[in-house]
Chains A and B, each alone.
Chain A
Amino acid sequence: MKNLDFIARNALGDYGYGMERYEQFLGWAYWGWREVFMDQGHTSEVTPLSINEAMEADLPNDFVDWVSVYYESRNRKVTFVHDSNLAKRPSTVPEKETCALTLNQYSRSLANRYLDLYGPDVGRRFGGGTLMNSTGYFNVDYHRKTMQFNAVHFEKNPIMLEYISNNIEHSGNILVHEYAVDMVRQYIHWQRAKFSRTGSRSEAELAKRDYDDAKTLAVTRFNPVTVKGVIEAMTSSRSLSPRTF
């Protein structure tokens, strides 16, 4: 694993630049790494969510997308269901003060489960169907960086969030997988040629070609095609295909 500082300084060395262009190259290294991350390098993290009175939890800083939301009960995962139609909650819940129920009681109540699920969108209540499970639903509010639930009655078992992380450690460095280091370096060269005020269009296109080659090599290394893999794929496809008599 190499960090972005290493790659940016290597690219600077390729041109004989000093630290005066470091900031620019570091920025390009970040975008190059992002390309790797989106295709290959993403990691999933698991973190417990702390849910507040408004039945919502703040998303982690490195959150990109959710994988699953669950709680553990008797060594099995009970997953929550994602419902993008779930009514967005306000940041404060004034009715909570007047109904005098605890959060746990309110979550168990029929009022919450059937009537508060879709908020003012009354018509949605009749189309619930299979969505009416007893565990609960969640939705992600990207604007407020929160994850909202319609029911939380699992106080003893914390709700866990498994999510794709963008891997940025806020105190340190982004690490790039060894396979993708040259790809990021070539990305920097491409961007430099692309944004150069004196460079020609064809120079940028050649640099793009070099980057594509490096990317192909990186992807091949990440996902190598082996004889064993091909045979396994063929075998499984045969076994899954409908039998003909």
Chain B
Amino acid sequence: MTTLGKLTEIYINDMTGGRPNSDDQFDERFVAEQIRNLLNEVLRRQIIENYSSDDRSNPGTFKVAYHDISIQKEANTGRKFAELPEFFLSLPHNKGLASVYHTKEPYNSFYPCHTPEVTAELYEMPLSHRQPYHQEGMKIFFHRKDVDKNHKEVSMVLVIAAPEKYDIDDVLPLTSEMASQVIALMKERRLPLMPQDQLSDNKALNAQ
């Protein structure tokens, strides 16, 4: 079981030679944020880009659901929309946004319109009972006006390795190789940022 806090501690411990103290240059909050970003990068590089052409489904381990997001009405255009809780992994066909559905109907998912300028009102009304939607920035717009007729809240499932929803002590759904990859990558990227003397004699600043 790995948590963001545990990864942060391992990294700081490694970098300070096992003697972290208040004088060192590592702030846990920033380290945790960096690890969070790197986890997503590793997820993409290690797992998703190595998929064979037959593996088209999203990795279920890294899906995270946000529930009870209220449907709102845009003042200017009158369109119904819901706010994205956070951004997700950039995948082909916008598959990082894995699913949108009414919270009470988890398997009656909506379907995305990738080019609403072309297809809006073309295939929607008569062909399917499902709700079409498209994304603009951090908003998900629903094409049908009756989207909030029976249910006022939607859920969104995002593909993301370390979502902001998970606190520093929450268990992350990570594979063990991802954890070690992230620590190694953190150290690698930290190297050019180290002070010059530390690069040359390989001694920590506080040890001098």
Contacts and interface: CB of A to CB of B under 8 A. Distances in A.
B125 interface: yes
B163 interface: no
A193 to B, nearest CB: 15
A196 interface: no
Contacts of B130: 5, 22
A183 to B, nearest CB: 18
Interface string B101-126: 00000000111111000010011011
B136 interface: no
Contact of B123 (A17, A21, A26): A26
Query: Which residue among A22, A29, A170, A173 has the maximum number of chain B CB atoms within 10 Å of its CB?
Result: A22
A16 B112 contact: no
Interface string A189-231: 0000000000000000000000000000000000000000000
A30 interface: yes
Given A18-B98, A19-B99, A19-B112, A26 B127 contact: yes
B93 A172 contact: no
Contact of A19 (B54, B109, B122): B109
Say which size band chain B's interface belongs to: 20 to 34
Contact of A16 (B57, B94, B114, B123): B57
A18 to B, nearest CB: 6
Main secondary structure of the interface of A (DSSP, over half): helix
A5 B128 contact: yes
Contacts of A30: 123, 127
Nearest to B128: A5
A18 B58 contact: yes
A245 interface: no
B112 A20 contact: yes
B44 interface: no
A23 B134 CA distance: 11
A27 B123 contact: yes
B120 to A, nearest CB: 10
B129 A173 contact: yes
B56 interface: yes
Nearest to B116: A23
Contacts of A20: 93-95, 112, 114
A169 B126 contact: yes
A132 interface: no
B135 to A, nearest CB: 12
B133 to A, nearest CB: 10
A27 B128 contact: no
A22 B111 contact: yes
11 contacts: A16-B54, A16-B55, A17-B56, A18-B57, A19-B99, A22-B130, A26-B123, A26-B128, A173-B127, A173-B128, A174-B126
Interface of B: 54-58, 93-95, 98-99, 109-114, 119, 122-123, 125-130, 132
